[in-house]
Structure 1
Amino acid sequence: MRVLLKEILDCSPDAAWRALRSPAVFREVGSPLVSVTSEQANGFPTIWEEGAHPVALRALGLIPLGRQMISLGVSTRHNGDVRILRDSGHGTSGSLAALTRWDHSMAVSPDPAGTGKTLYRDQLIFAAGPATLALWPGFWVFWQWRMRQLSRLAPTWRFDRGVDLEPATD
C-alpha cells in the first residue's frame, strides 16, 4: 500500500533538508502519537548519516510497538535540485516485525513557483501480508499528522552557513 503527500513548506530547501536529517525533528513530528528512542550506544546523532540506525517505538509513549532498523540512503536528481532521503529499513521486533516491506522516501526541492519555499514530497510504500489493508488507515492518519507537524514547524527551521556546512578543503 502507498501513502503519498505533497506540500509547500514555509522554509528554504536547505533548511528543510537539514531538518529531514535531524533525529530531533523526526521525533517531534511523530509526537505525541509515536515516541522514538535510539538503541545506538551513543543515542541519536545530531544529523542522520547514511546507514543503519536501530530505534524502539511506542504508541502514545506507552504501548510498545517494537524495534525498527532505520536504513537511510541519500540521493539527488535533476542536477541536485531534488534531494531525497530514503528509509528502506525494517521492523525487527514486536508488531513492526509484521511489516514485510518498508520504503519511505522524502524529497525536497525549490518551490516551482519561485517563492524561495520548499516543495516537499513524502511517499511511504509498505506491506504486511494479509494485514496490509487493515494497517493502511493507521499509516494514512499518522502520515497526515506528520505532514501537519512538518508544516507547523517549517517556519522555525534555519540553515546556518558555516555551522551546517562542512568547511571547504583544498
Structure 2
Amino acid sequence: MVRIAIATSMLWLLASCASSHFDVGGTETVLPLSRAWVDGRQVEYITTDISDAAMARAAGVNYAPRLRDAIASRPSVLERVYKFSGGEQISIFQSAPRPVGAGNTDQAYSPLWRLVMVTRRASGIGPELKSEEELLSAQEKGLVSLEVTDIVVNCPVTRAVGGGSLQGVR
C-alpha cells in the first residue's frame, strides 16, 4: 500500500513538472540557442550538460561526468553530433524530432549525443555540409577526418527552423 502511494505521488510530481500549468513562482530560464544541420534542414537546440570538464567550463554548462556512462548502454541511447574542430560551420546532428514536440515520430532521436570531432584536411573552408550523409561522403573522399570521442553532450532540440517548437519556446 505504501509503495502504491509513493508511486502515485511520483507520477503526479512528474506529470506536474511536464504540465503546461506547472509554475514555480512564475520564473523563466533563458538559455542560448545553437543551430545544427539535420538532413539539410536546420534545428535549434540548447546545451545543458557535457561529460568533459573543460568543454563544460568553456560552454558555461553543467559538468556531468556520469553522462559518459551512456556510451556503454545497450541498446545505445546516444546519437552522434559532428562538431567542426575549427568552428567553420555549425554542427551536424544524426537525427531530430519530427515534428519537434510531443508528436515526434522519429524513434531514433535522443537528446544525448556522442561527440565526433570533424577536421577538414584541406586548408581553407570547403562547402558547408548539411547532413550526416554529406559528411560521410566527404570523409570517403578524404576531405575530412572524424574522431569519435568519449564526450557525451545533452542537447535537446527545441525548435525546427521555420517549423514547430516545444511548448513555451519563442
TM-score, scaled to structure 1: 0.24
TM-score, scaled to structure 2: 0.24
Larger Rg: 2
Q: From the two aligned structures, give the one with the greater strand fraction.
A: 1
